[in-house]
Amino acid sequence: MINILLADDDEGDVFLLKEAMKKTQFENTLYHCQDGFETQKFLENYDKPRPDIILLDLNMPRMSGHEILKWIKTNENYKDIPVGILTTSSSEKDIKKSYKNYANYYITKPNTFGDLKAVVKRINDFWFQTVKLP
């Protein structure tokens, strides 16, 4: 089973992502954190499973997606986990900053459920059907 850690403070977006995963038959266990601070605590809790991939929203309270991305990618224990940005921002500044902090990919959240399902399918096809993860 694939373990995905999602950090996103928008409950509506979380619900839609879960539904898209069900509709595309993306078999996984999805763990959800409200912000970067909760994400850091999740990763440091050895009772929790290690995620195969992390999906981050950028605009979150307490600790932003940029802050937790930088923490993950500079931490020896977690820097090998693929981290994807899934956010509403299409700002060139956010895109550059995400890649500068070693995001593995950057996706602007789609506007329709159909497009979200297509994104979920592509993530599944690439990260879990094509590439080999550590």
pLDDT tens digits, 23-44: 988 888 999 999 999 999 999 9
The domain in which residue 24 lies consists of 2-127
Global pTM reads 0.92
Sheet holding 83-87, edge to edge: 28-33, 2-7, 53-56, 83-87, 105-108
Is 1 in a helix, a strand, or coil?
coil
Instruction: Classify residue 67: in a domain, yes or no.
Output: yes
Instruction: State the average pLDDT over residues 80-91.
Output: 96
CATH number at residue 94: 3.40.50.2300
Instruction: Classify residue 122: in a domain, yes or no.
Output: yes
CA distance 11 to 27: 21
Instruction: Classify residue 134: in a domain, yes or no.
Output: no
Answer yes or no: is pLDDT of 74 > 80.
yes
Domain count within the chain: 1
What pLDDT, on a 0 to 100 scale, did the predictor assign at position 1? 79
Answer yes or no: is pLDDT of 20 > 80.
yes
Instruction: State the average pLDDT over residues 101-128.
Output: 94
Instruction: Classify residue 34: in a domain, yes or no.
Output: yes
Type of residue at 57: D
How does the average pLDDT of the chain come out, rounded?
A: 93
